[in-house]
Structure 1
């Protein structure tokens, strides 16, 4: 039986005017030959709400500074289990939808772990997620994006 470290996280579905979502390409430092793609976001700091964490992560990871009130309510939530380093996590995560004109990503706010584990970023068309050469997380991201952006 695997012992999981519980973790709460806020994730951001950052979608540009063409409907593309910003994803980062990263690796687990313990498994550098297994890259994957994932959304902006990360763990909640002590006393932080999910919306506050999402706004902070947007600023730190992408250079987009938005007030917490601009995020609205979460549009999706799930639970995932994954290894990172030598630790297994069970992460409860909430996703916020942010629409923004495409802009130049600023990763200067990355912390040491992000600098060591994130190798690139890309604005992905939703229809290309299923054919990505590496795993995309969450695995149902295309379906989630279609649902939360429907009618927009």
Structure 2
């Protein structure tokens, strides 16, 4: 099993909406939504990876990255015959605008990402689509109501 440390960004706009990207599961056709982010490059730390991924996936370059708010329990995935153990850290960032530019995405991201959307907490609570991390509607509502936690909250996915 190959370790895959990853960073994700909980990107919230001026209207308290959360940016999520979508992908369709090839096995069962379900739609899943997740925050911007991805794996660390060699020599890169989690915060630098979060900012790089955000720049690549959204075009936003002048983002002030806040604290780590969630930490993912390890999970495994297989890609091209290799099994990875994914360990994710989620960082909070607020932006005054909701427009993004996805033209800097890497080819594999363009091939797998089917769309993006800004979600309100009530919209997340109502969707039947798969959300990552698990419990995202509650996690976002708590973050908006209480602000960042003192220590990262442990999450699934």
TM-score bracket, shorter-length normalisation: 0.7 to 0.9
Task: Tell me: CA distance 1:74–1:26, structure 2 relative to 1, closer, same or farther (3 Å).
Answer: same
Task: Tell me: CA distance 1:93–1:7, structure 2 relative to 1, closer, same or farther (3 Å).
Answer: same
**Which stretches of structure 1, 4 residues or longer, exceed 6 Å deviation after superposition?**
none
Q: Number of residue pairs matched? A: 146
Find 1:46's aligned residue among 29, 38, 42. Answer: 42
C-alpha distance in 2, partners of 1:115/1:38?
Answer: 15
How many angstroms does 1:26 deviate by? 1.0
Q: Residue 128 of structure 2 aligns with which residue?
A: 133
How many angstroms does 1:80 deviate by? 4.1
Structure 2 residue 89 is matched with structure 1 residue 94: yes
C-alpha distance in 1, partners of 2:78/2:104?
Answer: 21
For structure 2, the 5+ residue unaligned runs are: 148-157
Q: TM-score, normalised by structure 2?
A: 0.82
The RMSD of aligned alpha carbons is: 2.0
1:94-116 per-position Cα deviation (integer Å, ceiling 9, x unaligned): 11111112332111111111011
Q: TM-score, normalised by structure 1?
A: 0.85
Kept in 1: contact 2:14–2:98 (CA 8 A): no
Structure 2 residue 1 is matched with structure 1 residue 7: no
Worse-superposed segment, 48-57 or 93-102: 93-102
For structure 1, the 5+ residue unaligned runs are: none
C-alpha distance in 1, partners of 2:66/2:146?
Answer: 18
Kept in 2: contact 1:81–1:88 (CA 8 A): no
